[in-house]
Structure 1
Amino acid sequence: MARVTCPNCEAKAIVTSRDKQSTHVVTLYCSCSNTRECGATFRVTQSFDHFINPPCKSTAQIAAGLIKNLPREQQLELLGFNQ
């Protein structure tokens, strides 16, 4: 997980608790570690956006689905059986 910084003084913040909103969204309750000069407490919403590079299993599943839609001869050619 990425470091959380205080939106007021930009010091490192400590996550004191978290509340899962959904599969891809979580609310983090934080407190600033700069207690002498700031001491703010705040809430951060963290969410998953999208894959930049999908997991290998997903990529293989996508490829298998595409290959299944090809004519049999093209499938064999891609697999190296029709040379």
Structure 2
Amino acid sequence: MARVSCPNCEAKAIVTSREKQTNGVSHLYCSCTNSKECGATFRVTQSFDHYLNPPVRDTQDLAASLLKSLSKEQQLELIGIS
């Protein structure tokens, strides 16, 4: 889980609610935990950028699709049975 910091005092902040805008973009409503000296409430926009590693299921589907495009002989050769 990502940590949210207050933009004013840089103390830890708590996410109080989340409002989904689109797939991959949300507004996070936050409260600063430094209530004695700051106490700010603010909104952060969170967005998905890209995968560093694709989900396992996507990788499996891609591999299966590539295997299906090969002839039976090529498939057997690939797994070492020829």
TM-based fold match above 0.5: yes
Q: CA offsets, 1:22-58, max 9 Å, x none? A: 2211110011111111111110011111111112221
Give the corresponding residue for 2:77: 77
Moved over 6 A (4+): none
The equivalences for 1:1-83 within 5 A come to 1-82=1-82
Aligned-partner SS, 1:63 = helix
Q: Following the alignment from structure 2 to structure 1, what is the Cα–Cα distance between the partners of residues 3 and 37?
A: 20
**Aligned amino acid, residue 30 of structure 2:** C
Per the TM alignment, residue 81 of structure 1 is displaced from its structure 2 partner at its CA by: 2.2
Using the aligned pairs only, state the percent identity: 68
Normalised by the length of structure 2, the TM-score is 0.87
Gaps of at least 5 residues in structure 1 are none
The Cα RMSD (Å) is 1.3
